[in-house]
Every structure is written in C-alpha cells, then in structure tokens.
Chains A and B, each alone.
Chain A
Amino acid sequence: MNFDLSDEQREIKDTARQFFAARFKPEKVRDLAESRSYDDGLYGQMAELGWPGIAVAEADGGQDLGLVELAVTLEESGYACAPSPLMGSAGAALVISAAGSDEQRAEWLPRLASGEATGAFGGVSPDGQSTLFCDLPTADVAVVFDGDGALLAPASELDCEAAETIDATRSYATVVAAAGERMPGDADAGRDRLAVAISAELTGVGQRAMDMAVEYARERKQFDRPIGSYQAVSHRCATMLLAVEESRSLVYYASWAADAEPESLPMAAAMACARASEAAWETTASALQVFGGIGFTWEHDLQFWLKRSRVAGRMLGSPREHRDRVAALAGLGAGAPAGAVA
C-alpha cells in the first residue's frame, strides 16, 4: 500500500505546474478571457508534451499512461485556470477510449492525442435538457451522453448554441438535440473517468484560491495585525485546506481505481465529483471573503477561479445530483433518477 504519487507522476505534475505558471500568468488568463479565445500556439505546445492523449493507449496514438497522470496534469491546468481545449479534448478522448468502436477510435483518438483535432463533451436528456457542453462550439468532435449511453458527432453536425457563461476562460454551448453515432462500448465507465478528470481540474482550482487567500491573509493588515492572525480568518483558511485535501484524496483514489480496481470506480467517481465541485466553489467563495472588497472587483484575478469553479463544477451535473448517486450506490432507496449524464 502506497498512497502517494510515484516519482514519475510527481515529475509530470511539476512539469505541468511550471509550464502553466510560465505561460498562463494571470495577465494572460485575463487577456484570453476578455477575448473569449484560446491560444492555439500554447495548446500546440501542450499537445507536443502529449497531454491530450496522456491516458490514451499507445495503439491509439497516446502516451499509454493512466488516469492518475491525466489527473495531476489537469489539476495543474485548473491551478492556472488556463484557457485551453485540454479539458474538452482529453475528456472526449477518455470516453472514446472507453466506449468507441474500432473505427471511432481510429478516426478520432490519434488526432485528439496529437492536438490536430479538439474535443468536447456534454449531455442531453431524453426530454431535451442540455448540460453545458465543455468546449463547444469550438471543438471538432463531441461526445454526447443521452441517457442511454454516449454518441459521437462531428461538432459541425450538432445543432448547438454558444453559451456565454460567467466562466470566460472556456467555451461552452448547449445542444438542441442529441445526435451522432452511438458508441458501442462502456459509456458509463467513460463518463466516470470523465467525472474524475473534471474533479481533478476543480481540485487545482480550489488549491489556487486557497493559496491566494492564505498569501493575502499573511500580508494584509487591519487593526495593525495581519488578518490571518485572527481566528475568524485563519479557521476559514483551515476549512479551505480540509475541503481541498478531501477533494484531492478522493480524486487520486478514483483515478487509481479507474485503472487498477474498476469495480470501485462508479462510487469513487461520484464521490470525487460531488466533493470536488462543492469544495472548489466553497473555497473560491471563501477566498473572496478573505480578500474582502478587493476580491469583488473586476480588476482582481480571483474571479477567474471563482467562476471556473461554478461552471466546471456543473458540467456533468450538479453536486446535488452526484450526491444522490452516492446515496443510491451506498444502498439507499431504489436508485438515483437518471439525469442526462449524472
């Protein structure tokens, strides 16, 4: 039993941390958010590092590493709140890897892994309710969960409406009707792996908000003392640590289980997604309170993490829906009502 990243996994995480810190400084995030765009050159660099296909099989053109490796990379992408199609592409690739036919895999996985194409994902319920699709309408191909499994559609064939959400660091859209070619494999496993990937990003979002708040609480003085010396503030920060570490433990466990103990994945993924989405919001909102008035201004950077947590934390359903699924898997009642994707 060893619940820690391996040296190689740690190296991947450190590399990603440095990559994002150097290239996605808050000014850059702000520029891209204001134009609601991605920097294709920077995404090209991520693709060269193999990140979109880090968990894709070698035969499909990927790095053949596991979900843990993707999770630590996305955690760092969330830490930087980097605007890029990495989440949509790596996420779509996870589902195609788990559920796609040989033809679907051959058509899309090598291109997603190389960065030549980008991906998107989301769900439309049988009664036509759409979730926010991550990286539509900008992507080339989309995974569409429809309550019966997952469909795969070239984005150009989907009737979608761009959604201008509060999270300007990523493109989102709603889809009018589910469409595409059904993927014959295990779409549930794909959805669970996707939930873990999103949770990993959210863990990084929470970590960054906490780091920002703690740094500010050390420096900012009121009544002649650093505000972090007051327990009302320091205990708020301790609560952030509890939330972030609970998320991280659940995310790492679920990423490990996805590859090593798949029978534990459904519960592990539901728990990770419920906790990480709630925790990222709690932590960013709590950070805003630590910053006080300045945190509420447009000029302050915290808003990017705060808004990302709110939108990304609902891409596969709300925390409430994930918790209901946890309750069902824990043996309570007849079972969860089937949402579009949750």
Chain B
Amino acid sequence: MDLSLTESEAAFRDEVRTWLQENHPGPSPEGDDQAEFEFRRSWQRKMHEAGWAGISWPQEYGGKGATLIEQAIFNEELARESVPAPANVLGLVMGGPVVIAQGTDDQKERWLEPILSGDEIWCQGFSEPESGSDLASLKARAVKSNGGWKVTGQKVWTTYAHEAKWCMLLARTDQDAPKHKGITYFILDMEQPGVEVRPLRQITGEAEFNEIFMEEAEVPDENVIGDVGGGWQVAITTLMFERAGLGAAAVMGLRRTLNDLIALVTERGLEDDPLVRQRVAEFQIGIEAMRLGALRTLTATMKTGIPGPEGSLGKWQWAKYNQAMTEMASEVAGPDGVKVGTETTYRFLRSRANSIEGGTTEVLQNIIAERVLGLPRLR
C-alpha cells in the first residue's frame, strides 16, 4: 500500500498542471449558449493539438495512451484548474472508445480524428420516454432496406443533440428476439430530414438536453457497430467507459462545492453552530471516503483490467453528497438560496438530477445487492 504518487506520476501531474496553467482559455462567455459551445470547441482543439484530448485513447489512434492513474490525475487537474469541459465530451469518453474497441478499420478511419478535433460532435440516443432504467425495453425500431436501415422512434435526455453530427443510437432490429438480444448499435447521421431535435426544458429553466424524433431516418450498413442484434453488449461496454476514470474529477467537483459551502457558512456567521458543523463534517468525511474508494477501485481495475460493479458506489456517493451539500447551501444562504438566477439556487435545482442521470441510485443499489452481495435477483 502506497498512496503517494510515484516519480513518474508526479512528473506527469506537473506536466499537466503546467500546460493547463499556460494554456487556460480564461472564463467562458456567459449568456450565449452558442458562443459558449464554440468556446469549448476551440478549447478542445487546443487540447488536441497538444495531444491531451484523447487522454485515454491509444497513441495509434491519436490519443495519449495514459494509464488509468494518469487519467485520474489528468481529470483531477482539469477540475482543479477549473477549465471548461471539451465540447465533444460524449465523443471523447464514449463514442471514440467504443469505435476503438468494437469498430472496423474503416469506421476508425472515418470517425476518430474528427472526434478528437471537435469538428464532429457526438451525442447518445439510448433512453426513451418509456425506457429509462429498463433500457433494454426500448422501442425505437430499425427496419432493413437496401444497403441500410430505416429508424423510427423517439429518444430523450440527449445532451448536445442540436450540435451533434453523429448519434450513438440503440434501436430494435428483431422484434421477436428476447429484449436484450434484438438490439443493434448504430451511428446515426443527425443531419438528415428524418431526424428532428427539440430542446427539453428542465426544472432549472435551461435546456441542457433534447428529445430526438426519428421518422424513417436512414443509417447505412457500414454504420452498424458490432453485430446486428449484438447492440446491448456494445452499449454495456460504452456505459463502462462512461463511468471509468471520471471518479477523480467528480471528487474535485465535490471538494469545490464543499469549500464554497464552508465559505458560505462562515460568511453567514454559522461556523460555530453545532448542527452545521456536524453536517459539514459528514460531507468532508463522505467526500474523502469517495476519493479513497475511487483510488481503491482504480488499483483493482489496473490489476484485473475491467472495472467491477463496486464502481457503482462512487456514482451513488457523488449524488448523495452533492445533493446534500447543495440543499444545505440553499438552506443557509437565506433568500439567495431560493431566488431564481443565483448560483446557489441553480446548483440546488440541478443536483436533483444527480440521483437519476447515468443510473438511478435505486438501480445502482440493485447492482450492488445482486452483483457484489450476491442477493437474489428481483426479476
């Protein structure tokens, strides 16, 4: 057991930190969503030119080929320096890795470089209005037509759909197969008449997500990833990529929220209030336990090669502590904690989604109960 960074890990951290400090793009433009997105696109291009964009990708595909620990260090530094997220987040953490793992040489040739550069934005079409936690029950349907497929159906909670060129799409290609076996993984071109994108306004007032309506949208055969009918397995792999390596960045985010909360509590003169102290201590302890748990998972994953179901604990902790902290901030901030337009109010409302997005806490608890503790399956 040794939790200190090795010499080469420390050197890597210093290299990342120095580069970020020298190349920080400054504050994002506010109030104009399109300008903000283009700002993030040019930031991603800058990262790509220096070789950082595909931090986890193998070098032969234009990535950095970083180890899991280096990825964790990298994500931690990004959060520490408060740099904006790259524009093509979903392409970088899900689309690219899935094409690298499951795609043909032609597919790699076609898609990988524009993901890294940010020239082509990717989005993810998995959830449907009637298929949330039970994703495999999805109904969007793809029908064979010469040399390709025609897709009809609806997707929801699609981030960046209005900016995206490509959509990672799950659709049912075999109505008669068992529900996990009749699904195929497509890469859908968003720029065509059969695809309509509508913004989905959320309780914060903004529209971070979209709905996608597909009416005989066309996908050529060469845009199928993996086997026809094998899409569920491809999707599972994709979801694993979504969770791997993000723990460190999530912890840094929580730490910033805690520091802001401590500052707020002090500003409001509540630093000696015993109840406030108890709760702040709980957050401090919980966040540290989450950081350490992520490091234990990382060490285990480096040994075994695959992330285990224990990773579900981290997502659960993140939602739990972030919601509790933003609730407390909203409580101690006085009127500002519930006024429209304040940062405290925004975080408080936005965090309500934390225990739903990317796997509900209930589903994570099912995974832990069944796959870690070996309790009998509910279904």
**Is A256 touching B2 in the complex (CB atoms < 8 A)?**
yes
Interface flags, A185-222, vs B, CB<8A=1, else 0: 00000000000000000000000000000100110000
Query: What is the bound-complex CA distance between A2 and B265, given in angstroms?
Result: 36
Number of contact residues on A: which range applies?
35 or more
**Is B2 touching A260 in the complex (CB atoms < 8 A)?**
yes
Instruction: Say if the beta carbon of B153 comes within 8 Å of chain A.
Output: no
Given contacts A323-B277, A332-B262, is CB(A3)–CB(B292) below 8 Å?
A: yes
Q: Given A4, A261, A327, which contacts B284 in the complex, CB threshold below 8 Å?
A: A327
Instruction: Say if the beta carbon of A162 comes within 8 Å of chain B.
Output: no
**Is A229 touching B375 in the complex (CB atoms < 8 A)?**
yes
Instruction: Say if the beta carbon of A235 comes within 8 Å of chain B.
Output: yes
Contacts of B274 in A (CB 8 A): 324
**Is B369 touching A3 in the complex (CB atoms < 8 A)?**
no
Instruction: Give the residue name and chain of the A residue nearest to B1 (CB).
Output: A256
**Is B285 touching A274 in the complex (CB atoms < 8 A)?**
yes
Which of A218, A241, A242 neighbours the largest number of chain B CB atoms within 10 Å of its CB?
A: A242
Instruction: Say if the beta carbon of B131 comes within 8 Å of chain A.
Output: no
CB proximity of B3 to chain A, nearest CB, Å: 6
Instruction: Say if the beta carbon of A275 comes within 8 Å of chain B.
Output: yes
Interface flags, B289-306, vs A, CB<8A=1, else 0: 110110110111001000
**Is A326 touching B284 in the complex (CB atoms < 8 A)?**
yes
Number of contact residues on B: which range applies?
35 or more
Q: Given B3, B6, B310, B365, which contacts A3 in the complex, CB threshold below 8 Å?
A: B3
Given contacts A228-B369, A324-B281, is CB(A4)–CB(B378) below 8 Å?
A: no
Segment with Cβ contacts to B, from A131-139, A146-154, A245-253: A245-253
**Is A249 touching B289 in the complex (CB atoms < 8 A)?**
yes
Instruction: Say if the beta carbon of A1 comes within 8 Å of chain B.
Output: yes
**Is B1 touching A2 in the complex (CB atoms < 8 A)?**
yes
Interface of A is mostly: helix
**Is B285 touching A242 in the complex (CB atoms < 8 A)?**
no
Instruction: Say if the beta carbon of A120 comes within 8 Å of chain B.
Output: no
Instruction: Say if the beta carbon of B5 comes within 8 Å of chain A.
Output: yes
**Is A246 touching B3 in the complex (CB atoms < 8 A)?**
no
Which residues of chain A (249-292) have a CB below 8 Å from chain B?
Answer: 249-250, 252-253, 256-257, 260-261, 271, 274-275
**Is A234 touching B277 in the complex (CB atoms < 8 A)?**
no
Query: What is the bound-complex CA distance between A1 and B72, given in angstroms?
Result: 11
**Is B376 touching A3 in the complex (CB atoms < 8 A)?**
no
Which residues of chain A (319-342) have a CB below 8 Å from chain B?
Answer: 320, 323-324, 326-328, 330-334
Instruction: Say if the beta carbon of A231 comes within 8 Å of chain B.
Output: yes
Contacts of B316 in A (CB 8 A): 242
**Is B365 touching A231 in the complex (CB atoms < 8 A)?**
yes
Interface flags, B255-276, vs A, CB<8A=1, else 0: 0000000100110000110101
Which of B3, B6, B262, B377 neighbours the largest number of chain A CB atoms within 10 Å of its CB?
A: B3
Interface flags, A112-125, vs B, CB<8A=1, else 0: 00000000000000
Contacts of B266 in A (CB 8 A): 332
25 pairs, CB–CB < 8 Å, chain A vs chain B: A1-B4, A3-B3, A3-B292, A3-B295, A4-B296, A5-B1, A226-B376, A229-B377, A231-B362, A231-B366, A234-B370, A234-B375, A237-B375, A238-B372, A242-B317, A249-B289, A250-B292, A256-B1, A256-B2, A260-B3, A261-B4, A320-B278, A326-B285, A327-B277, A330-B262
- Hey, which bits of chain B sit against chain A, CB under 8 A? 1-6, 9, 69, 262, 265-266, 271-272, 274, 276-278, 280-282, 284-286, 288-290, 292-293, 295-296, 298-300, 303, 310, 313, 316-317, 362, 364-366, 368-370, 372-378
A-B interface, 4 closest residue pairs, ranked by CB to CB distance from nearest? A234-B369, A249-B292, A323-B281, A246-B289
Extra contacts, 14 of them, besides A226-B376, A323-B277 (Cβ < 8 A), are: A1-B69, A2-B299, A3-B295, A5-B1, A68-B1, A214-B373, A218-B376, A229-B376, A238-B366, A246-B289, A323-B281, A327-B281, A332-B265, A332-B271
